[in-house]
A and B are shown apart, each in its own frame.
Chain A
């Protein structure tokens, strides 16, 4: 029963819309379906509303003409330069060019990224290896945080001024104190040797039995 009712209503809707398109008024259509007068009136009201809204979306012809004319003057001529700093670039960058650039970059990245990783790894290996050869004392600082290297000090130019002489002598004294501090770095050699000796205790492996 419900199904029959649904089918009837669908038929009524279709026919009502068809009659409306044909120019029939809602009153005339209601007379054709006396038992569904309310339904016909609702359908007609909705159809009228939709038609009204649809008309509002489309601008009037005159307005459309004005819009297009204005747009023509705002659009850049393809021959004009698009960029201030690239005079050779004309017009909009085409989608083809953009795609081409993207593909080129994508293919290059396939080379650049692995190459970059290899370079970083090589640098790390070189740095690590060079680190083992560099004596630790080269990294040590004195109490003032200065670099510990006697040879870096440059004597002052002789001016004949007594204060300059004294200043130079004081620098000399400080530098020689640094020379003594550098002796301390030898103790690091003992630490390096210790690690090898400590491994002797691991000669027995429980996995053997």
Chain B
């Protein structure tokens, strides 16, 4: 009984010590885990920065290849379309020129007197001159329209290339900064957030420049509108010339 007391005291102290140890360990465990996770994150961002940069580079390369392919396709398509339209217009004009000659021939058959024949001859000259003047204006308008399209394409290409280069440069800067921060031991979270903010700003800058690029279409529209007015004027002038030629020819046939 006497011996039991010291033993009990020892056991009690031992149990208490174990209990305290367990409690202390359980409290310390979460803090230890959090520290471990933060450390792994820090190691993750800084170790992965190369991989992240490679991913962005790959996407940029893919998109750049698509841009180049699309540019070539646009150029080829524009040339093909223009060639087709030119051929169609040439065929059309040849057909209507031939038809005009048929009409002249019929008028010649109809002309009985020298006066009428002269009138028909004058009519032909007037009509041919009017047709030629009109076609000159239309050809000029077509040429100017194509030139404005080409200029718009070039301007856009330059603007897009500038925006692309700015994007690349900003991306490189963001990557370099992240690497330097990692090497300097900057907190991983800070490294990540800084990189994210830099890249977002880069993307926003590209989007803003893109809006400016879209406005380049306006120059083509104004050129086309101007030339369209010129064509309409040429058509109106042609009508006036035709009416005059009609009146003169009719007078010649009516009078004789």
| Docked complex Cα distance between A169 and B163 (Å) | 51
| Docked complex Cα distance between A173 and B138 (Å) | 10
Are A201 and B109 CB-contacts (below 8 A) given A151-B88, A184-B145? no
Q: Which of A164, A176, A209 contacts B192 (CB 8 A)?
A: A209
A71 lies within 8 A of chain B by Cβ: no
Chain B nearest CB from A175 CB (Å) reads 7
Q: Which of B88, B99, B224 is most buried by chain A, counting CB atoms within 10 A of its CB? A: B99
Q: Which of B45, B92, B135, B171 contacts A151 (CB 8 A)?
A: B92
| Docked complex Cα distance between A192 and B202 (Å) | 24
Question: Is there an interface contact between A158 and B195, defined as CB atoms closer than 8 Å?
Answer: no
Count class of interface residues, chain B: 35 or more
Q: Which of A156, A180, A194 contacts B142 (CB 8 A)?
A: A180
Q: Which of A189, A196, A205, A209 is most buried by chain B, counting CB atoms within 10 A of its CB? A: A209
| Docked complex Cα distance between A202 and B171 (Å) | 12
Interface of A is mostly: helix
A166 lies within 8 A of chain B by Cβ: yes
Number of interface residues of A (CB under 8 A): 51
Question: Is there an interface contact between B142 and A198, defined as CB atoms closer than 8 Å?
Answer: no
A150 lies within 8 A of chain B by Cβ: yes
B43 lies within 8 A of chain A by Cβ: no
Are A177 and B81 CB-contacts (below 8 A) given A153-B92, A158-B105? no
Are A200 and B67 CB-contacts (below 8 A) given A186-B78, A192-B74, A193-B156? yes
A199 lies within 8 A of chain B by Cβ: yes
Q: Chain A contacts of B232 at CB under 8 A?
A: 177
Q: Chain B contacts of A204 at CB under 8 A?
A: 56, 59, 171, 199, 202-203
| Closest 5 pairs (CB-CB, A-B) | A160-B106, A155-B99, A158-B102, A201-B206, A183-B145
- 5 intermolecular pairs with C-beta atoms under 8 Å apart: A179-B92, A185-B81, A186-B145, A187-B149, A196-B63
